[in-house]
Structure 1
Amino acid sequence: MGLLDGQYAVVTGVANKRSIAWGIARAFDREGARIILTYQNERLLENVEKLAGELSRPPELVPLDVTDDTSLNSVAARVGEITDAVHVLVHSIAHAAREDLAGRFVDTSRDGFLMAQNISAYSLTALVRVLHPLLVNAHGASVIAMTHDGARRVMPNYNVMGVAKASLEASVRYLAWDLGKEHIRVNAISAGPIKTLAASGVKGISSALQLVTEKAPIPENITTEDVGNAAVFLAAPWSRYVTGHVLYVDSGLHIMGG
């Protein structure tokens, strides 16, 4: 028996096999969860369909554009047709304009700032709101957001995304307070550097990977599988009293000084 047998998990943000969200989906599948994958648009659907075939049980595929309230409501309706309870929600969505991930943060445009906040931070609250009745029905649901240490420390070339992740982490805490009485836990995983598609848009990913091997207490880089295993912990009853927390999966790099 798996730790998540009989549970339904909505996993957002799968783009390809290197996605952190895909590592989480595979770990959940291994532990017996029924997976509902969202995809951003038709261009990415083919990739998600190919990956879906690798899971032990065929997942449901649902389109999601977090910038569109109509799409958000449609996702809630579609998921409600699949199951009357969502036991786990994984938010692994982030985006910023490439020009706002380089140079100086002070040069961030208004539109670029608002876009990063909307897609990378506000979308968590929006998703939780539309799926709220299904999360309540789980009688102990777990919401898991993906963050980064750039939320609390300055990291060159992370810029507006670091500010968006700080907003995301604050949202995790406020949502944890709002929803705790309904036994809905809200946490975040702060993953160390991994060479994902999203990370490739941030200049200096190779240096970040090298920094782990040079400075982290455990001098080894993590994988999406490691993040997936941490997500299983946060999804399972083992963490039933863990909420409002940021769990670092980064070989301990976040404790080190400059």
Structure 2
Amino acid sequence: MTLPLSPVVDLRGKRGLVVGIANAHSIAAGCAAAYAQAGARLAATYLNDKARDWVTPVTESLGIEWTAPLDVREPGQLEELFETVEQRWGGLDFLLHAIAYAPREDLQGRVTDCSAQGFAMAMDVSCHSFIRMAKLAEPLMSEGGCLACVTFYGSERVVEHYNLMGPVKAALESTARYLAAELGPKGIRVHAISPGPIATRAASGLERFDELLERAAAQSPVREAVDIADVGALAAFLASPAARRITGTVIPVDAGEHILG
């Protein structure tokens, strides 16, 4: 058998949009670094002017071509972002959705007690925005592409203090499967990446998250915690032609913790 001379994860010439960089320690930053290392051309978003100061050092260090503000709760902002993608690039090859939000009072309380408004907001930002992005990306992926979102195993089993985000992430994973089925005939693949616990700013909103990190590192089969580079390596592979026959998956990158009860 003749082995290919080109690298397996090759994103040279591919155009990717990264949504969800909060700072250098965020999962989206780890994915952006892996995309860049594989040769992709990248754009990224920042939540607002306050967040931009934390995002700019990351985007500049990675040579990201351009950035734009994005708060999916703001009417018209997501549509404007994709109009910019079309104007600047004329198309899109892959997209990472790495945003989630729930009001603190709903996130830190029981699911039983969550408010209708808090539940709706969590679903809108964390799940429905992925559907909106898929719809806007579809016409820009005329030659196929890859859509990826970020989930967590609290979607399928009860994780103490994960609370409202458990049902929300379950909905996100189901959404990824349905999008994969609907967009597959157009060559658009869809995945949900499921990292183990990682110390990010988003995770800081969860009660006693440090304990969860410690348990994950101590109990996982490889006795190590995962980091954003591990997630990035998987994300880059999924966006590459090497993964062209893989779609509709929820893929754990959690040092094997998902196999434990």
* TM-score, shorter chain, exceeding 0.5: yes
For 2:45, which of 23, 38, 43 is the aligned residue? 38
**Long gaps (5+) in structure 2:** 1-5
Matches within 5 A, 1:106-125: 106-125=112-131
Q: Which residue of 1 aligns with 2:3?
A: none
Q: Which residue of 1 aligns with 2:249?
A: 245
Matches within 5 A, 1:75-224: 75-135=81-141, 137=142, 139-224=143-228
- How many matched pairs? 254
1:64 aligns with 2:64: no
Deviation at 1:69, TM superposition (A): 4.0
Q: State the one-letter code of the partner of 1:143.
A: L
Flag as ranges the 4+ runs of structure 1 deviating above 2 A: none
Q: Deviations over 1:109-157 (max 9, x none)?
A: 111100100000000000111122112x2x2301110000011011121
Task: Classify the secondary structure of the residue corresponding to 2:61.
Answer: coil
Is the contact between residue 217 and residue 224 of structure 2 (CA under 8 Å) also seen in structure 1?
yes
Q: State the one-letter code of the partner of 2:213.
A: L
Q: Deviations over 1:190-223 (max 9, x none)?
A: 0000100001111122111111232211110011
**What TM-score do the two structures reach when normalised by structure 2?**
0.94
Is the contact between residue 196 and residue 255 of structure 2 (CA under 8 Å) also seen in structure 1?
yes
Q: Deviations over 1:224-250 (max 9, x none)?
A: 000000101111111111111011000
State how far apart, in whole Å, the 2-side matches of 1:222 and 1:21 are: 14
State how far apart, in whole Å, the 1-side matches of 2:117 and 2:167 are: 14
How much identity, in percent, do the aligned residues show? 40
RMSD: 1.2
Task: Classify the secondary structure of the residue corresponding to 1:159.
Answer: coil
**What TM-score do the two structures reach when normalised by structure 1?**
0.95
Is the contact between residue 44 and residue 64 of structure 2 (CA under 8 Å) also seen in structure 1?
no
Task: Classify the secondary structure of the residue corresponding to 1:53.
Answer: helix
Q: State the one-letter code of the partner of 1:173.
A: R
Q: Which residue of 2 aligns with 1:10?
A: 17
For 1:54, which of 58, 61, 79 is the aligned residue? 61
Task: Classify the secondary structure of the residue corresponding to 2:164.
Answer: helix
Q: Deviations over 1:147-191 (max 9, x none)?
A: 000110111211111111011001001100110000000001000
Deviation at 1:58, TM superposition (A): 3.9
Is the contact between residue 92 and residue 145 of structure 1 (CA under 8 Å) also seen in structure 2?
yes
State how far apart, in whole Å, the 1-side matches of 2:64 and 2:42 are: 8
State how far apart, in whole Å, the 2-side matches of 1:116 and 1:197 are: 17
State how far apart, in whole Å, the 2-side matches of 1:130 and 1:222 are: 32
Is the contact between residue 140 and residue 240 of structure 1 (CA under 8 Å) also seen in structure 2?
no
Matches within 5 A, 1:230-241: 230-241=234-245
